[in-house]
Structure 1
Amino acid sequence: MSSAPAPVELERPDLGEAADTDRPWLTLVWNDPINTMDYVTYVFQRVFGYAKPKAEKLMLDVHRKGRAVVANGGREEMERHVEVLHSYGLWATVKRDD
């Protein structure tokens, strides 16, 4: 007489968790009292390849609003952006998109 194997309960991810992993990460640059507006514009052009008008708009957001989202995507890529921005002397952080 053979016995049937016991049923196995599989864990299923909560749909909220699955959607949560799809949310991108953001690279934020914060206003600081050290870097000039021209320099921040230059860094955005150099690091991200943004055209001057886009780089200037982001720089003005940093200046006027205190911060700007300069990139979004995967966590590792955003962390690399932050490291590069730090090497240029900018204040930057990574945050999960809301």
Structure 2
Amino acid sequence: LDLSKFFDHLWVTIVWDDPVNLMNYVTYVFIKLFGFSKEKAHELMMQVHNEGKAVVASGTREEMERAVQSLHEHGLWATLQREDHGRV
């Protein structure tokens, strides 16, 4: 019996590295949109810079669609993806 259809899957918002936005600006956007501490926002920004991407939020699909839209409105490259048993 596949119970997954009865549960809302967890979705994640991924921010991708880009050649346009300054690191300080990305940190600022993370603080503004997600309420991260300066340290957490800096850590995620460095992950984006060094690894090419970072998961910055998780929740329902609708929540992550709103997060991606907000990131786009701030000029960041972001996508949403369904989390697959803890793997993105």
Which ranges of 4 or more aligned residues in structure 1 deviate by more than 2 Å? none
- In terms of Rg, which structure is larger? 1
Structure 1: which 5+ runs fail to align? 1-12
Partner letter of residue 35 of structure 2? G
Aligned counterpart, 1:3: none
* Matches of 1:22 and 1:68, distance apart in 2: 22
User: How many residues were matched structurally?
Assistant: 84
Residue 24 (structure 1) aligns with: 10
**Aligned equivalents of 2:71, 2:37: Cα separation in 1:** 17
Structure 1 residue corresponding to 2:19, chosen from 24, 33, 36: 33
Structure 2 length as normaliser, TM-score?
A: 0.89
Q: Which residue of 2 aligns with 1:90?
A: 76
**What is the TM-score of this pair, normalised by structure 1?**
0.80
Q: Which residue of 2 aligns with 1:49?
A: 35
Unaligned runs of 5+ in 2: none
1:14 aligns with 2:13: no
Q: Using the TM superposition, give the Cα deviation of residue 14 of structure 1 relative to its aligned residue in structure 2, in angstroms.
A: 1.9
Q: What fraction of aligned residue pairs are identical, expressed as a percent?
A: 57
Output the CA distance in 2 between the equivalents of 1:75 and 1:14.
Answer: 20
Alignment root-mean-square deviation, CA: 1.4
Cα deviation, 1:15-71, whole Å, max 9, x if unaligned, reads 3x347x443100000000000000000000000010000000000000000000000
Q: Does 1:60 align with 2:43?
A: no
Distance 1:61 1:22 in 2: 28
